[in-house]
Amino acid sequence: MVNKLYFLTILLFFSSCMSRQKLALIEQELADIRGLNTAKKSSIKNYKDSQIVFSDSLKHLRGALQKLNAHKTAALQLTKFKSDSLLIEKCTFATRVEKDVYHYLNYARTRPKEFCEKFVVPEWNKSNRFENSLVATMRSMAPVDALLPDFSGYQSAECHARSLGLTGGRGHKRIKDPKTGKPCEQNFWGECCSYGEDSGLGVVLQLLIDNGVESLGHREICLSNEYSRVGISLQYHKVYGANCVLDFL
């Protein structure tokens, strides 16, 4: 009986030792699993952090590329503007003032924001809604191509400007040329008439502000990309002192 009890005690002791060993092994496995989970979480966090850094770097790179492209585009536009200006200067049928109209008009078209800040904003009457809308338009619009001189458009504009000046009239309706007695030709797809301004900048600003013209038709034509050429003629006007006709093609 004693031997049996002794045997059972030893058996229980070894069983207890084995249980503790198994428990220790299980606890070690759990610790290993926890360690792996911690390492996995750390790796995931590092990955997310690297993704954020990469995303920020990509945004900075895109911003730098956009700025570079903007500078490149501006440089190309300036080069083209200078090239077009040289062509205008070589134009044989335009007077000095008419060439100035070309230059200021193309300045407004190809560099609208710069033109606005330089020539419109300094004299900006904020109580005038036409000037307010012009500033808003030119600050937000994209540049459009420059206009080149056109001789057929010039002939059409010159005849109409001279006829209006000698008769004291205004408007777009063609009348007979007082010199030849023949009706003036209409070689244009869009036309603007300015009165009372005898300088290139004055003519362009008057047409762009379009004061009192609810449709803003002159402004829209001057800044439209639908035209590539224009004939310009500034003549004496017996009522307004000067009138300028721009015939767009």
Asked whether residue 77 falls in the same domain as residue 129, the answer is no
**How many structural domains are present in the chain?**
2
Strands (E), the chain: 148-149, 190-195, 229-237, 241-248
The per-residue pLDDT for 177 is: 80
Instruction: From 69, 90, 111, give the residue that closes a domain.
Output: 90
Asked whether residue 127 falls in the same domain as residue 193, the answer is yes
SS3 helix, strand, coil % of the chain, rounded to 5?
65, 10, 25
Asked whether residue 83 falls in the same domain as residue 105, the answer is no
DSSP state of 184: P
Asked whether residue 4 falls in the same domain as residue 119, the answer is no
Asked whether residue 136 falls in the same domain as residue 158, the answer is yes
Asked whether residue 234 falls in the same domain as residue 146, the answer is yes
The per-residue pLDDT for 72 is: 47
Mean pLDDT in runs of 10 for the chain (249 residues)?
60 60 69 73 73 71 60 51 79 97 98 98 98 98 97 96 94 85 89 98 98 97 98 98 98
Q: Which residue shows structure tokens 């792996």?
A: 36
Asked whether residue 143 falls in the same domain as residue 32, the answer is no
Q: Rounded to whole angstroms, what are the CA distances from 132 to 91, 128, 209, 214? A: 35, 6, 9, 13
The per-residue pLDDT for 64 is: 60
Q: How far, in Å, CA of 144 to CA of 222, rounded?
A: 10
Report the Cα 241 to chain-centroid distance in Å: 37
User: Using an 8 Å Cβ cutoff, are 186 and 172 in contact?
Assistant: no
The per-residue pLDDT for 44 is: 76
The per-residue pLDDT for 16 is: 61
The whole domain housing 202 covers 92-248
Long-range Cβ contact pairs of 72-80 (< 8 A, separation 24 or more) = 77/110, 77/111, 77/143, 78/111, 80/110, 80/146
